[in-house]
Amino acid sequence: MYEFEYHRPKKLADAVKLIKSKKEGKLMSGGMTLIPTMKQRLASPTDVIDLSGLGNFGVSVSKTKVTIKAGTTHAEVASNSDLKKAVPALAALAGMIGDPHVRHRGTLGGSVANADPAADYPAALLALNAKVVTDSRTIEADKFFKGLFETALRANEIIKQVSFDIPAKSAYSKMPNPASRYAMVGVFVADFGNKGVRVGVTGAKGSAYREKAMEKALSADFSAGAIAGLKIKADDMNADIHASAEYRAHLVGVMAKRAVGAAK
Amino acid sequence: MPAISMTVNGEKVCGEVEGRTLLVEFIRNNLGKTGTHVGCDTSQCGACVVHVDGKAIKSCTALAVACDGASVDTIEGLAQNGKLHPMQEAFREHHGLQCGFCTPGMIMAGIDIVKRKGKKLKEETIREELEGNICRCTGYHNIVKAIQAGAAKM
């Protein structure tokens, strides 16, 4: 790892000021991606601004809405008792990220900002129609994930929290890579009753996306049978040593059917 | 260089580190506590697991400076007055190690599982919870047995 200057501001405003003032600064939350990337010298920031000193963590659940602060660890999301009742699918998703030690450190904000094509949260944010609140504005999930490790965040923008309405039922189904536990394909299905069904997919393409033909079919009939005949195109799917594009396209269908069957 | 201080196994320690110094480097090189191992160095194997403020983390993937002020527990802090911790004793008794390289991380992970899931652990739970700890000798059977037995005695 190349040397850098370390900062741990206590206030969001100070973090914003710091990142704006540094030539090649990087924001760090849990560091579960950034530190390994820096160790491999794939990133060499002049300054690291550690957001863990902001104390910006916690899950709050009201009758209709969930808000999760950006610095909340995966372990905290997975074990939050209110969230387990309100949106058990999201708590379960957080419990499937990485391994217990990584979940103690990695955060929702960090994962969302990093936008790894195989990360779990992006599928959930899309399906839950979440709003990403930053230090300066609110971005809808639909407009947030732009591409491979690319988001709508500006260079110096910091995520404060994520919020979304509680769906009638939801589920996340994932085929994990056996070594990394990243999603080969993961599908998050959220049923908002008369507001329709949303389907977020991760791992399959360069960026998480919504499978809109499935949403239409499931909005009319929320059953695995409703999407059984749906053909998923492999055209722009990822292909690598773990899975071909065709296999991933097939998995999207299988994971979606499993999620619909498991939704509660 | 930033000066940091933390409590390691109940003792106050301090030192100067670079921003890039990893927690495991501080523990091994600055404090000379070499029980915490570096296996893969890519956040996968779990040989470097220590507890920071009571939670198991991979010390090869944490900056020492970010743990300034924290309370850290390593494998060296487990035995008390020459008597092995029940989890250590269970690894000895159930032959939960062969080369021993992964053992410090396995034991720290095992204790963390007990903290979160209680003393009565199902085999299935232990196997799932050991996701982040790799052993290349044992095939895990005896590690699982050891954690189950150690948990019951904690």
Domain of residue B52, CATH code? 3.10.20.30
Question: Of A76, A81, A101, which to mutate for an interface test with B (greatest number of B Cβ within 10 Å)?
Answer: A101
Distance from CA of B148 to the nearest CA of A (A): 17
Q: How confident is the model at residue B61 (pLDDT cuts 50, 70, 90)?
A: very high
Q: Residues of CATH 3.30.43.10 domain(s) within chain A?
A: 5-50
**ipTM confidence score:** 0.96
Say if B107 falls within a structural domain: yes
> B58 and B21: one domain?
yes
- Protein fold of A59-262: 3.30.465
Does residue B42 have a pLDDT over 90?
A: no
Q: How confident is the model at residue B6 (pLDDT cuts 50, 70, 90)?
A: very high
pLDDT at residue B75, rounded to an integer: 98
First to last CA, chain B: 41
> B27 and B65: one domain?
yes
Distances (CA, A) of A213 to A35, A65, A217, A246, A257: 39, 27, 6, 18, 14
pLDDT digit string, tens, across residues A158-192: 999 999 999 999 999 999 998 888 999 999 999 99
Q: Which of A8, A25, A33, A20 is nearest to A114 (CA)?
A: A33
Share of chain A above pLDDT 90, in %: 98
- Protein fold of A5-50: 3.30.43
pLDDT digit string, tens, across residues A115-168: 999 999 999 999 999 999 999 999 999 999 999 999 999 989 999 999 999 999
> B105 and B54: one domain?
no
> B119 and B72: one domain?
no
Output the six-digit token pair for B98: 């062969």
> B113 and B72: one domain?
no
**Angle at B78 (CA atoms; ends B147, A80), nearest 5 degrees:** 60
Question: Of B1, B20, B51, which to mutate for an interface test with A (greatest number of A Cβ within 10 Å)?
Answer: B20
Q: Which of A26-30, A229-233, B30-34 has the lowest mean pLDDT?
A: A229-233
pLDDT at residue A179, rounded to an integer: 80
Does residue A234 have a pLDDT over 90?
A: yes
Residues from chain B contacting residue A6 (CB–CB below 8 Å): 2, 19, 63, 65-66
Say if B36 falls within a structural domain: yes
Which one of B41, B76, B111 terminates a domain?
B76
Mean pLDDT for the stretch of residues B141-149: 98
Q: How confident is the model at residue B1 (pLDDT cuts 50, 70, 90)?
A: confident
Contact B107, B97 (CB under 8 A): no
Mean pLDDT for the stretch of residues B89-116: 97
Say if B81 falls within a structural domain: no
Distance from CA of B21 to the nearest CA of A (A): 9
Which one of B28, B49, B76 terminates a domain?
B76
Mean pLDDT for the stretch of residues A12-26: 96
> B103 and B62: one domain?
no
Contact A43, A135 (CB under 8 A): no
CATH number at residue B110: 1.10.150.120
Q: How does the average pLDDT of chain A come out, rounded?
A: 97
> B97 and B68: one domain?
no
pLDDT at residue A181, rounded to an integer: 84
The DSSP 8-state label assigned to residue B96 in this structure reads: -
- Selected residues 40-79 of chain A with any CB under 8 Å from a CB in chain B: 48, 50, 52, 75
Q: Residues of CATH 3.30.465.10 domain(s) within chain A?
A: 59-262
pLDDT at residue A78, rounded to an integer: 98
pLDDT digit string, tens, across residues A66-111: 999 999 999 999 999 999 999 999 999 999 999 999 999 999 999 9
pLDDT digit string, tens, across residues B124-133: 999 999 999 9
Number of domains in chain B: 2
Residues from chain A contacting residue B18 (CB–CB below 8 Å): 3
> B90 and B145: one domain?
yes
Say if B97 falls within a structural domain: yes
Number of neighbouring beta carbons within 10 Å of residue A24: 10
Report yes or no: A24 at the B interface, CB cutoff 8 Å: no
Share of chain B above pLDDT 90, in %: 97
Q: Report how far residue B26's alpha carbon sits from residue B149's, in angstroms, rounded to the nearest whole number.
A: 32
Q: Tell if the CB–CB gap between B19 and A104 is shorter than 8 Å.
A: no
pLDDT digit string, tens, across residues A211-228: 999 999 999 999 999 999
Q: Which of A33, A187, A24 is nearest to A110 (CA)?
A: A33
pLDDT digit string, tens, across residues A45-73: 999 999 999 999 999 999 999 999 999 99
Say if B125 falls within a structural domain: yes
> B71 and B7: one domain?
yes
> B109 and B148: one domain?
yes
Tell me which residue has tokens 């739970």. Answer: B125
Report yes or no: B41 at the A interface, CB cutoff 8 Å: yes
> B67 and B112: one domain?
no
Domain range for B143: 86-153
Q: Tell if the CB–CB gap between B19 and A32 is shorter than 8 Å.
A: no
> B100 and B67: one domain?
no
Query: What single letter denotes the amino acid at residue A261?
Result: G
Which one of B54, B76, B98 terminates a domain?
B76
pLDDT at residue B116, rounded to an integer: 97
Q: How confident is the model at residue A34 (pLDDT cuts 50, 70, 90)?
A: very high
